[in-house]
């Protein structure tokens, strides 16, 4: 392509060929034409709105009247004078800190079992994956609300062994845990990624290790885990970002309130309430930027620490 | 298969009897785990066909009698019937699939096969959007769509798909396109094929697996989407199935659990069908690219 162009421009004696515009038209235009839809979306739906929302976060925008500049008031209020902000932060952190490691532990444990060359692997893998595929649906959140209700399925099963369970959903000590269990239940997709990672580990490493008399546990700690760290790292990042963004289950199970006593008030739910129930759009924009900062900090921190624990082949 | 088999050959330590026992124990554990995981889903299915009074008295997944009454009750349980909600959901998801596959494959083709100025910069920007929480663009987008008069239409849910807003699918396709032999493009180019013809006649036909994967995931994610419709659709006649279900739980749900569960089951059927017929594609898609769910 490049060669054709230069030969053409040297034989043609028209000076226009050398202008920046015609060079663009010959070399770059096809690429930009194919990229055009994405480019419009990126500028109009991502970059533009990002800049706008950063601006709005310094205003008192309420959707109906034009925004007035309030400086850093929204951020100051958030950190110094908004207990609900801190509640939602605590709920979200609790959810992330417990759901992600537990989900990944389950995913890895089941992947290890499945990777032993057992019969019926495709069937097991499909069955364990099904909840991941269905789990984000409103229907599943409705089901969960029933399962963990006072007269729900869990308590029916507990009653068979003589335990009288509480109403998990409406008890603030347990309500968040029902959401954590829902998240763990969907361990299927990280499990599939772990399985793909385990397949990459050369079997001769295990053979050499067992010839040296290394136990199964030592093989796991010294071979499997180090070689799997890139996959663990990848899964941890994806699942953590997803957990920060989680919205639907908490909304459906609490009927949009985050109750009982704000025990399921996810950060995203609080942001939604501020923006679309109270129309405090300026404040909600500030909440969104704090969320972005949080996710960004977490990602940066993970990448920074990864060189100490993630093992990459040269 | 080979891992465990080769291991025992080398070690020679595990006696055949012990190995058999381990294998049985593993199967017992896996079957137990499968049942525990699928039990809620089976119970939901049972609750939708069993007599109403049995829903809260039975933990069993086998109903004492079978009836489809709840499906008829639930279908017309709200002012607007679920037929409308399903039609809306199919329209939105269908258009999203077309838009996403078209726009993302075009962008991916540019990134994977064409040379242009600042390509690496744009590619880095695209990767950046993968990590971006949607809340950051939410409010200005809402204001924009509201000013365009798009609230209470499907446009805010569909148009972004035609602008390749979900960078994840671009990334997925770039990976696939890069794996196709470059000689094909070069040969076609020698024969005077334009980039558009190469894209349409060579790349697209050879990329059916990845396009199908993207199409299925787009459909499922759009079908499942609750947040978008919650914000943009406030008239019942434009509700999606997910919004219909939510309204059901708020209004009649407390009195008609049978109907609610029946509609919940129906809302899962399209996703389940994709699972049934395309699970290989879905699982490979996840294994090779690390899809989030």
- The answer to whether residue A178 sits within a structural domain is yes
Q: What is the pLDDT of residue A201?
A: 85
Rounded to whole angstroms, how far apart are CA atoms A35 and B228? Answer: 25
Report whether pLDDT(B121) > 90. yes
Task: Give B216-265 pLDDT, tens digit per residue.
Answer: 999 999 999 999 999 999 999 999 999 999 998 887 556 788 889 999 99
- Say if A113 falls within a structural domain: yes
Please say if the pLDDT value at position A3 is more than 50: no
Q: What is the pLDDT of residue B9?
A: 45
Q: What is the pLDDT of residues A161-192, one digit of tens each?
A: 888 888 888 888 889 999 999 999 999 999 99
Peptide bond into A260 cis (omega under 30): yes
Q: How far apart are CA B280 and CA A207, in angstroms?
A: 31
pLDDT value, residue B64: 82
* For residues A200-222, average pLDDT: 84
ipTM: 0.87
Does the residue A47 lie in any domain?
A: no
Contacts of A295 in chain B (CB under 8 A): 131, 133
Name the pLDDT band for A18 (thresholds 50, 70, 90).
low
Q: How far is Cα A55 from Cα A50, in angstroms, rounded to an integer?
A: 9
| Region(s) of chain B under CATH 1.10.3720.10 | 74-289
Per-residue pLDDT, A254: 87
Determine how many CB atoms are found less than 10 A away from the CB of residue A98: 18
pLDDT at A269 over 90: yes
* Number of compact structural domains in chain A: 1
Q: Do A117 and B199 touch (CB under 8 A)?
A: no
Out of B27, B116, B132, closest to residue A27 by CB: B116
Decide if A224 is inside a domain: yes
Residue A27 lies in a domain: no
Continuous segment of H or E residues that includes residue B19: helix B16-49
Q: Do B11 and A39 touch (CB under 8 A)?
A: no
Residue A145 lies in a domain: yes
CB within 8 Å of chain B, chain A residues 10-49: 24, 27-32, 34-42, 44-46, 48-49
Question: Cα separation of B85 and B93, whole Å?
Answer: 12
Domain limits for position A111: 85-309
Its CATH class, for the domain covering B74-289, is mainly alpha
B269 touches chain A (CB under 8 A): no
Question: Is the confidence at residue B22, as pLDDT, over 90?
Answer: no
B window 69-88, beta carbon within 8 A of A: none
Rounded Cα distance, B113 and A231, in Å: 28
Specify the pTM. Answer: 0.88
The CATH number of the domain holding residue A221 is 1.10.3720.10
pLDDT of residue B291: 59
CB under 8 A, 24+ apart: contacts of B253-256: B253/A142, B256/B70, B256/B73, B256/B74, B256/B77
On whether residue A243 sits in a domain, the answer given is yes
Give domain status of residue A60, yes or no: no
């Amino acid at each position: 392509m490049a060669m054709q162009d230069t030969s053409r421009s040297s034989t043609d004696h028209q000076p226009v060929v050398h202008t920046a515009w015609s060079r663009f038209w010959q070399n770059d235009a096809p690429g930009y034409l194919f990229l055009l839809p994405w480019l419009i979306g990126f500028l109009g739906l991502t970059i533009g709105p990002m800049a706008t929302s950063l601006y709005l976060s310094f205003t008192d925008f309420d959707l109906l009247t034009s925004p007035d500049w309030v400086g850093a008031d929204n951020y100051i209020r958030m950190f110094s004078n908004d207990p609900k902000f801190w509640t939602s932060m605590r709920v979200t952190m609790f959810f992330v800190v417990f759901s992600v490691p537990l989900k990944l532990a389950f995913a890895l444990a089941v992947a290890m079992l499945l990777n032993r060359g057992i019969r019926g692997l495709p069937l097991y893998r499909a069955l364990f994956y099904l909840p991941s595929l269905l789990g984000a649906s409103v229907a599943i959140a409705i089901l969960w609300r029933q399962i963990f209700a006072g007269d729900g399925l869990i308590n029916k099963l507990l009653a068979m062994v003589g335990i009288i369970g509480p109403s998990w959903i409406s008890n603030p000590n347990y309500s968040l845990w029902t959401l954590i269990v829902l998240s763990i239940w969907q361990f299927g997709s990280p499990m599939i990624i772990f399985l793909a990672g385990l397949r990459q580990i050369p079997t001769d490493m295990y053979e050499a290790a067992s010839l040296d008399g290394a136990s199964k546990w030592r093989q796991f700690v010294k071979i499997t885990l180090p070689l799997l760290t890139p996959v663990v790292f990848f899964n941890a990042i994806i699942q953590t970002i997803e957990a920060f963004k989680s919205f639907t289950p908490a909304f459906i199970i609490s009927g949009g309130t985050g109750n009982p006593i704000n025990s399921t008030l996810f950060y995203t739910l609080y942001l939604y309430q501020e923006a679309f129930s109270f129309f405090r759009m300026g404040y909600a924009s500030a909440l969104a930027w704090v969320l972005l900062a949080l996710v960004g900090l977490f990602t940066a921190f993970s990448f920074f620490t990864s060189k100490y624990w993630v093992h990459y082949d040269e | 298969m080979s891992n465990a088999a080769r291991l025992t050959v080398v070690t020679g330590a595990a006696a055949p009897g012990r190995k058999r026992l381990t294998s049985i124990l593993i199967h017992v554990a896996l079957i137990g785990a499968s049942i525990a995981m699928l039990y809620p889903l089976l119970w939901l299915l049972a609750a939708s066909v069993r007599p109403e009074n049995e829903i809260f008295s039975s933990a069993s997944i086998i109903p004492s009698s079978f009836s489809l009454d709840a499906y008829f009750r639930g279908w017309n349980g709200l002012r607007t019937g679920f037929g409308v909600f399903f039609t809306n959901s199919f329209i939105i998801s269908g258009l999203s699939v077309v838009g996403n596959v078209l726009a993302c494959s075009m962008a991916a083709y540019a990134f994977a096969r064409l040379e242009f100025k600042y390509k690496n910069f744009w590619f880095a920007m695209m990767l950046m959007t993968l990590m971006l929480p949607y809340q950051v663009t939410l409010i200005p987008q809402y204001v924009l769509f509201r000013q365009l008069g798009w609230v209470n239409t499907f446009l805010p849910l569909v148009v972004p798909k035609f602008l390749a807003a979900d960078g994840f699918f671009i990334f997925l396709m770039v990976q696939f396109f890069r794996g196709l032999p470059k000689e094909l493009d070069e040969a076609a180019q020698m024969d005077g094929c334009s980039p558009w013809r190469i894209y349409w006649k060579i790349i697209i036909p050879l990329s059916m697996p990845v396009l199908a994967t993207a199409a299925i995931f787009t459909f499922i994610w759009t079908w499942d989407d609750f947040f978008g419709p919650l914000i943009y659709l406030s008239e019942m006649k434009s509700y999606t199935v997910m919004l219909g279900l939510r309204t059901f739980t708020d209004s009649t749900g407390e009195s008609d659990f049978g109907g609610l569960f029946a509609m919940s089951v129906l809302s899962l059927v399209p996703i389940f069908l994709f699972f049934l017929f395309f699970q290989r594609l879905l699982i490979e898609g996840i294994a090779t690219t690390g899809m989030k769910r």
